[in-house]
Amino acid sequence: MKTITMPSFGADMEQGKLTEWNVKPGDTVHKGEIIATIETMKGLIDMEVFDDGVIEQLLIEPGSEVPVGEPIATLRRLGDVAVEAPPVKAPLVEKSATPLQTDQAAHISSPPPETTATIASQPDLALSANQGHQTSPLISPAARYQAELQGINWGALPAGSGPNGAIVLADLERYIQADQQQLNVTTPTAAPRSIEQDVNTLKMRQAIAAVVSQSKREIPHYYLSHDISLTHALQWLKKYNEDRQPESRILINALIYCAIAKALQKFPAFNGFYQNNQFQPAEQVHLGNAINLRQGGLMVAAIHNAEALSPVSMMDKLKDQVIRAREGHLKMSEMQDATITISNLGDRGSDSILGVIFPPQVALLGIGRVREVAWVEGQHIKPVTIVSISLAADHRVTDGHDGARLLNKINKLLQKPEQLV
Amino acid sequence: MKDKAALTHFLLERIKAIAPDSDTDDLDPDEDMRDELDLDSMDFLRLLESIAKQLNINIPEMDYNKITTLNTMVSYLSERQSSL
């Protein structure tokens, strides 16, 4: 049997509200199926299940808000039992917004007979992926000692910054500090209506602060920037878009993202995770697209296997992601497995951006505003549309020379946009 | 949808659907719409998609500079409609 816990959709998430169950006890589910909708500060996220199996119990009611890592359901995986047990009969969980009464809720879970041989060895999942699945988080002995000394229920804490998401002392200190500051916020001086919002904003800022501080403390960043002429890319784009309806047009971003993904494939030292004092390159390029939320904060959603996408399919993915982000249907897997992040300030932003790496990733690419400059080419000055692409990279893994080669490769690919197809 | 008031209403309603948090109430119709409403290139393209689908007007890229403000966009669309 496997316990499904409140997932984390980013290091700055502390709790989530279950708004809807899409399944009921006894339902057979398949890997990738959406079983619930979770509401976070970042909007609604569709939660997928990562195994084939049968839902045994739903442990919380729609409308409940629980910390990351808290058990919310149990799943009997296929293969957990030798003989298929009959489906569990249980009252249907209403899909309405009406919260269930407590006594009803008790009936939601009617556990089937406990079976043996259910303890499968946990696969060695990547840090972000195992946050949603472990029954209790890993914790270092020192942190555990400290937690128990202070009477903190560490089992309910989200995954930490140690190896495989283990909670380490530094994480524990952060939670203690965050707790104390929350208490300070709810002093009667604040206007009653804004307290909740203030606390949420504060929590999100604190969580972002924790991630970027950890990044700057532990990752020796180096920065490079490269001005790239978009003359060829824009010419190609103009021709491509000329006779097309708006729905089939491509934006320059799609070409830039394609060039980045294909360049990263040639320079795997920038694409992967630094854990346990060593770098593990990722096999695929999952481009994390950092989206700035207008209500404040950041969200990173991954474009999977980006190296294999043509500009047309990249454009489809980008568009689909924006629409789903607005409508609240981003998927859990998108929120968790980016191998590198792109921070794009958009065409109305600044000329360039030097970012902070999201641990355990080892690089972040910044895309500045597409802009016109005076450009010297073959002894002549001419107006050219350019973009500044910058790189923040982990010096433990790569050196400036490698970084410069990566940016050069992106530049070369953007000079031959027809080859990106 | 011949009259300009209806076009304006249609555009604002579409913008609101594409970027729900954009402040269309305070939009100065003579200012750059994308600047004022913080619409990125994707938002803008989706607005053009809506226009193409619902008004049957395909705005080519070369005309983008004619539709930067709400007022110029309304005039442009109204002209295109009357020449249909």
Helices (H) and strands (E) counted in chain B, each on its own, are 4, 0
Residues A26 and A173 in one domain: no
Averaged over A95-104, what is the pLDDT?
39
**Mutating which of A234, A236, A243, A294 best tests the B interface, going by the most B Cβ atoms within 10 A?**
A294
CATH number reported for the structural domain that contains residue A357 in this entry: 3.30.559.10
- The pLDDT tens digits for B44-73 are 999 999 999 999 999 999 999 999 999 999
Give yes or no for a contact between A238 and B61, defined as CB atoms under 8 angstroms apart: yes
The most confident of the ranges A82-86, A378-382, B16-20 is A378-382
β-pair partners for A12: none
Q: At residue A182, does pLDDT exceed 90? A: no
- The pLDDT tens digits for A220-230 are 999 999 999 99
- The pLDDT tens digits for A64-96 are 899 888 899 999 988 765 444 444 444 443 344
CB contact under 8 A, A242 and B60: yes
Last residue of a domain, one of A218, A236, A258: A218
The pLDDT value given to residue A191: 44
The pLDDT value given to residue A137: 67
The pLDDT value given to residue A192: 47
Residues A287 and A144 in one domain: no
Higher-confidence position of A338 and A297: A338
CATH number reported for the structural domain that contains residue A167 in this entry: 4.10.320.10
Is A223 exposed, middle or buried, given 0-12, 13-18 or 19+ CB atoms closer than 10 A? middle
Percent of chain A with pLDDT over 70: 73
Asked if the structure places residue A129 within a domain, the reply is no
Residues A185 and A237 in one domain: no
Distance (Å, rounded) from C-alpha A211 to C-alpha A361?
A: 12
Higher-confidence position of A7 and A340: A340
Residues 6+ apart with CB under 8 A from A263: A406, A409, A410, A413
Question: Six-digit token pair at A359?
Answer: 């641990």
Residues A155 and A114 in one domain: no
Q: Residue A236 is part of which domain span?
A: 221-420
Q: How far is CA A57 from the centre of its chain?
A: 27
The pLDDT value given to residue A189: 43
Helix (H) or strand (E) holding A164: none
Higher-confidence position of A240 and A14: A240
Structural domains in chain B, CATH included, are 4-21+28-82 (1.10.1200.10)
Averaged over A350-379, what is the pLDDT?
94
Give yes or no for a contact between A47 and A37, defined as CB atoms under 8 angstroms apart: yes
Residues A375 and A238 in one domain: yes
CB contact under 8 A, B35 and A246: no
The most confident of the ranges A77-91, A182-196, A304-318 is A304-318
Give yes or no for a contact between A412 and A419, defined as CB atoms under 8 angstroms apart: no
Distance from CA of B40 to the nearest CA of A (A): 7
Higher-confidence position of A173 and A379: A379
Higher-confidence position of A135 and A146: A146
The pLDDT value given to residue A176: 65
User: At A64, phi and psi to the nearest 5?
Assistant: -80, 145
Averaged over A109-119, what is the pLDDT?
34
Mean pLDDT computed over every residue of chain A: 80
Q: Which of A18-27, A158-167, A203-212, A301-310 bottoms out in mean pLDDT, i.e. has the lowest?
A: A158-167
Residues A27 and A90 in one domain: yes
Angle at A333 between CA A330 and CA A335, to 5 degrees: 60
Distance (Å, rounded) from C-alpha A389 to C-alpha A421?
A: 21
Give yes or no for a contact between A154 and A137, defined as CB atoms under 8 angstroms apart: yes
Residues 6+ apart with CB under 8 A from A111: A56, A57, A74, A88
Percent of chain B with pLDDT over 90: 69
Contacts of A240 in chain B (CB under 8 A): none
Confidence band, pLDDT 50/70/90 cuts, at residue A141: low
Is A329 exposed, middle or buried, given 0-12, 13-18 or 19+ CB atoms closer than 10 A? middle
- Chain B residues with CB under 8 Å of a chain A CB are 18-21, 34-35, 38, 40-42, 45-46, 48-49, 51-53, 58-61
Residues A330 and A313 in one domain: yes
Give yes or no for a contact between B47 and B11, defined as CB atoms under 8 angstroms apart: yes
Q: Sign of torsion, CA B27 B33 B36 B41?
A: positive
Model ipTM value: 0.90
Pairing, β A340-344 against β A287-292: parallel
Asked if the structure places residue A130 within a domain, the reply is no
Q: Which of A64-68, A201-205, A232-236, A240-244 bottoms out in mean pLDDT, i.e. has the lowest?
A: A201-205
The pLDDT value given to residue A352: 93
Q: How far is CA A383 from the centre of its chain?
A: 39
Residue A220 φ/ψ region, left for φ over 0, alpha for ψ in the -120 to 50 degree band, beta for the rest: beta
